[in-house]
């Protein structure tokens, strides 16, 4: 008999402490390099409406690449199948900030979750929204049922000041006709997007629609609201499984077996279709840019619950 979920989270929290010091914070973005490394939080939100947390699950952190999931969903809702004319849906097998594939593939990024792909998505949304940061925050506030979400201007500036490679990719894609707006404007929007902050509990709640057939779990006894169609929800989860963990996506699929999106702020969100979502955060990263403790925690949770074997 499987122990209750709170007991499992306590067990994972205890076991994870042994991994402190195995990674390092994302110090190539100076503001993120100042984050105290020995922190760990975990939250589970279930489609039943139940939720559980452990550790530093209420501490806000920089979402970074996890925001690529939300901007991709917004763009998919706007453009439908036309989106795939500007970005692919294949694993890259290269680092998240690699420029090499753009040269051989005519400025079309492999998928929406590497930096080049996310820049194209941000370019699309920049053409649609005068204030993309407000549009994104509006969607996140609705999904998380939290009106006080914001992006951190200090982190955004730190990221923008060091965004030379991203700028190079933007100009390269513009030279191939796959960029409509000024790269400087898109980079401003992209860095504000990445600087969005949430905690584990809010992130688990905000992604619950992906475990619930595209329906946003309503509060106060109201009926669930359709946020994304069921077919598109299935497709988003498929892309998260194959492309959501940078060039470690195959390793994550093997070890964890769930759709995930990771970020260099130390967060990871995982989707258990039909069951719920799991958000973990610990800022020490491995060489691929993924949270060391976060990956361990998800692997242990899947092993202890069997979720990865019964839902995909």
The set of catalytic residues is 65, 68, 190, 246, 264
C-alpha–C-alpha distance, residues 7 and 13, integer Å: 10
The rounded Cα 286 to chain-centroid distance in angstroms is 17
Known binding-site residue numbers = 65, 115, 159, 166, 190, 246, 264
Label residue 99 exposed, middle or buried (CB < 10 Å: 0-12, 13-18, 19+). middle
Residue 228 C-beta-side C-alpha neighbours within 13 Å: 30
Known binding-site residue numbers for substrate = 65, 115, 159, 166, 190, 246, 264
C-alpha–C-alpha distance, residues 203 and 280, integer Å: 9
Residue 146 C-beta-side C-alpha neighbours within 13 Å: 18
Going by the DSSP 8-state scheme, the letter that residue 132 receives in this structure is H
Residue of 207, 266, 282 whose CA lies nearest to 55: 282
């Amino acid at each position: 008999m499987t122990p209750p979920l709170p007991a499992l989270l306590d067990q994972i929290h205890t076991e994870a402490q042994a991994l402190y010091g195995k990674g390092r914070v994302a110090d190539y973005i100076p503001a993120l390099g100042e984050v105290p490394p020995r922190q760990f939080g975990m939250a589970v939100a279930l489609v039943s409406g139940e939720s559980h947390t452990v550790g530093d699950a209420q501490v806000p952190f920089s979402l970074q690449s996890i925001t690529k999931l939300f901007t991709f969903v917004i763009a998919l809702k706007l453009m439908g199948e036309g989106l795939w004319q500007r970005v692919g849906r294949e694993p890259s097998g290269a680092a998240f900030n690699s420029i090499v594939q753009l040269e051989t593939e005519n400025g079309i990024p492999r998928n929406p979750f590497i930096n080049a792909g996310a820049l194209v998505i941000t370019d699309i949304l920049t053409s649609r929204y005068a204030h993309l940061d407000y549009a994104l925050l509006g969607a996140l506030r609705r999904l998380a049922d939290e009106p006080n979400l914001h992006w951190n201007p200090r982190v955004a500036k730190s990221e923008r000041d060091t965004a030379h490679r991203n700028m190079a990719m933007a100009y390269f894609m513009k030279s191939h006709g796959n960029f409509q707006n000024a790269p400087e404007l898109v980079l401003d929007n992209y860095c504000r997007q990445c600087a969005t902050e949430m905690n584990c509990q809010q992130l688990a709640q905000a992604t619950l629609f992906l475990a619930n057939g595209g329906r946003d779990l309503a509060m106060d006894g109201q009926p669930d609201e359709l946020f994304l169609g069921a077919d598109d929800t299935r497709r988003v989860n498929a892309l998260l499984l194959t492309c959501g963990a940078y060039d470690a996506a195959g390793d994550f699929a093997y070890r964890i077996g769930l759709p995930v999106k990771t970020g260099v702020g130390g967060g990871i969100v995982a989707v258990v279709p039909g069951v719920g979502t799991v958000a973990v955060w610990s800022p020490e990263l491995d060489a691929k840019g993924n949270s060391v403790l976060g990956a361990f925690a998800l692997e242990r949770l899947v092993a202890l619950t069997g979720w990865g074997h019964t839902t995909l």
